[in-house]
Amino acid sequence: MNGRLWGVGLGPGDPELVTVKAARLISEAGVIAFHMARHGRSIARSIAAQYMRDGQIEEPLMYPVTTETTSHPGGYQGALDDFYEECAARLAAHLDAGRDVVVLAEGDPFFYGSYMHLHKRLAHRYPTQVVPGVTSVSAASAELGRPLVERDEILTVLPGTLDPSVLASRLADTDSAAIIKLGRTFPGVRSALEEAGRLDDAWYVERATTDKQRVESLRDVDPSTVPYFSLALLSTRAGAPVAAPPVVEAAGEVVVVGLGPAGRQWLTPEAQDALATATDLVGYGPYVDRVPPNPRQKRHSSDNRVEAERAAFALDLALRGSRVAVVSSGDPGVFAMASAVLEVADSVEYSSIPVRILPGLTAANAVASRVGAPLGHDYCVLSLSDRLKPWDVIAGRLSAAAAADLVIAIYNPASRSRTWQVETARDLLLEHRSADTPVVIGRDVGYPTETITVAQLGELDGSTVDMRCLLLVGSSKTRLTDRGVVFTPRRYS
């Protein structure tokens, strides 16, 4: 079988700008071919040298002429045509023997590169693929730090070998331009830029990305110092640096952000954007810790029992111009910081501060999704914490919800100091529900330590429940299937 021909672009000169694919192909090839001048040095080979290995066959392709005259009967072009035919025959011998051949090309193989002359002679006879490379034009733009084009502008690439009058005409009609093949053509290129009225906008870049790189205003370049591997760049007229806007006093705001029950995968895009654009993060310590650190942001963590103080602190930051994100687990409007912030903000002192609430996935919805659809019909949400309301209020609401035959999502079921409410709540519910009513116990949902347990109401053990749990107590219609799925039918009959 024949070998494969590869035209491999090496980029503008820096070996680190060789693509991963190009580096791999260079190291794997049986034959490495490269062009070189009569002085015996090859820029392409020097770029690729660190990717080559011992034992590879090298095929140096030495140009018969570069800029000098020739006695060939076909003149300069005839000499080159014969040269490319002879080179193609040498490479074909390797391809016929089943050897893969990589032809090295500075920049991009199809951008004014010598490889294309071999490609035209061999690609129809052998399997061939071209690997693109970074062009000198792109490299020069990057080293200058000036864009080539933007929006609907036009970039024109011109060879410096064109007649200066033709160059001037083309330059006058384009937004930006790259003029390559300088060297001896530089004086004509300079005069064309001046005739087009673009000389002051032009830059000169020599051997871009190499240790011999030279960058300066084209007007100041000495023509006698210009090599072939250089170009003139006329960057976009819209590419000039933009003046810094006047400094204005920042407008502060407070955004209360729902983080969801756990993990970035349950964070809404709107919440992600609010966290990314905030200057300050405020919240209960473990919730603030869930947001990846960003050194340009200030983080203000506090205890879970100082909600009003935390809200006032966030609003005070906003008064000084900060964009504050107050973070809450789950949804901020469900037993979380939204109401605390809005209550403190409802005063003349903070009347100028906009407050936004961004919803998050609730713990109740997250736990429900793990077992099926227990919240498929009417349900209510209750907290067993008696820190902000008395137990008799909680007990009355539990009884009312049970009597109404609602599915009940129970937040904050227990803590270190509250160890009796779960079993007391169970007994209240059993006054209206059968003992075999399904109860879903979700713990650490969304974390690696997640556990989901389905129990019967009559057997609910309070010692297995803590603050990291959420309970879903089914209605009289809630079913537990043989497959372990819990759902509440939408039809109530």
Annotate 268-293 with DSSP letters as a single string.
-HHHHHHHHH-SEEEEEHHHHTTSPP
Arithmetic mean of pLDDT over the chain: 91
Q: What pLDDT does residue 388 have?
A: 83
User: Identical fold at 137-238 and 253-358?
Assistant: no
Decide which of 356 and 263 is more confident: 356
Q: What pLDDT does residue 67 have?
A: 65
Asked if pLDDT for residue 239 goes beyond 60, the answer is no
Give the H or E element holding residue 168. helix 164-172
Asked if pLDDT for residue 215 goes beyond 90, the answer is yes
In contact, 437 and 478? CB cutoff 8 Å: yes
In contact, 243 and 230? CB cutoff 8 Å: no
Percent of the chain predicted with pLDDT > 90: 75
Phi, psi of 272 (to 5 degrees): -60, -40
Query: Which amino acid would we find at residue 159?
Result: P
d(CA 374, CA 237): 63
298-314: pLDDT as tens digits: 999 988 778 899 999 99
Q: What pLDDT does residue 4 have?
A: 96
Q: What pLDDT does residue 249 have?
A: 59
pTM over 0.75? The answer is: no
Q: Sorting pLDDT into bands at 50, 70 and 90, what band is 70?
A: confident
* Cβ neighbours around 427 below 10 Å, total: 11
Distances (CA, A) of 457 to 295, 385, 433, 467, 471: 49, 20, 8, 19, 11
**How, if at all, do strands 438-443 and 479-480 pair?**
unpaired
* Token representation of residue 66: 């570069």
332-368: pLDDT as tens digits: 999 889 999 999 999 988 989 999 999 999 999 999 9
83-103: pLDDT as tens digits: 999 999 999 999 999 999 999
Asked if pLDDT for residue 241 goes beyond 80, the answer is no
d(CA 464, CA 449): 15
CATH 3.40.1010.10 fits 253-358, yes or no: yes
d(CA 241, CA 239): 6
d(CA 106, CA 35): 10
**How, if at all, do strands 298-302 and 280-284 pair?**
parallel
Asked if pLDDT for residue 236 goes beyond 90, the answer is no
Scanning the structure block, which residue is given the tokens 């009312």?
400
Q: Is 300 helix (H, G, I), strand (E, B) or coil?
A: strand
Burial of 121 (0-12, 13-18, 19+ CB in 10 A): middle
Any idea where the domains of the chain sit in the sequence?
5-133, 137-238, 253-358, 363-487
In contact, 309 and 284? CB cutoff 8 Å: no
Percent of the chain predicted with pLDDT > 70: 97
For the domain covering 137-238, report its CATH number. 3.30.950.10
d(CA 168, CA 289): 62
Q: What would be the CATH architecture of the domain defined by 363-487? A: 2-Layer Sandwich (3.30)
- Beta carbons within 8 Å of 427's beta carbon, 6+ residues apart: none
Kindly write down the DSSP assignment for every residue of 2-44, as one continuous string. Answer: ---EEEEE-BSS-GGGS-HHHHHHHHH-SEEEEEE-TTS--HH
d(CA 473, CA 365): 13
Q: What pLDDT does residue 94 have?
A: 97
Q: What pLDDT does residue 74 have?
A: 80
450-485: pLDDT as tens digits: 999 999 999 988 888 888 899 999 999 999 998 999
Bridge partner list, 104: 8
Kindly write down the DSSP assignment for every residue of 332-368, as one continuous string. Answer: TTSSSHHHHHHHHHSSGGGTTS-EEEE----HHHHHH
Q: What pLDDT does residue 71 have?
A: 80
Distances (CA, A) of 35 to 22, 84, 201: 17, 11, 34
Q: What pLDDT does residue 248 have?
A: 56
Q: What pLDDT does residue 39 have?
A: 80
Query: Which amino acid would we find at residue 407?
Result: V
Asked if pLDDT for residue 199 goes beyond 80, the answer is yes
Q: What pLDDT does residue 417 have?
A: 78
For domain 5-133, give its CATH number from 1.10.30.50, 3.50.50.60, 3.40.1010.10, 3.40.50.300.
3.40.1010.10
Return the half-sphere exposure (C-beta side, CA atoms, 13 A cut-off) of residue 162: 19
117-140: pLDDT as tens digits: 999 999 999 999 999 999 999 999
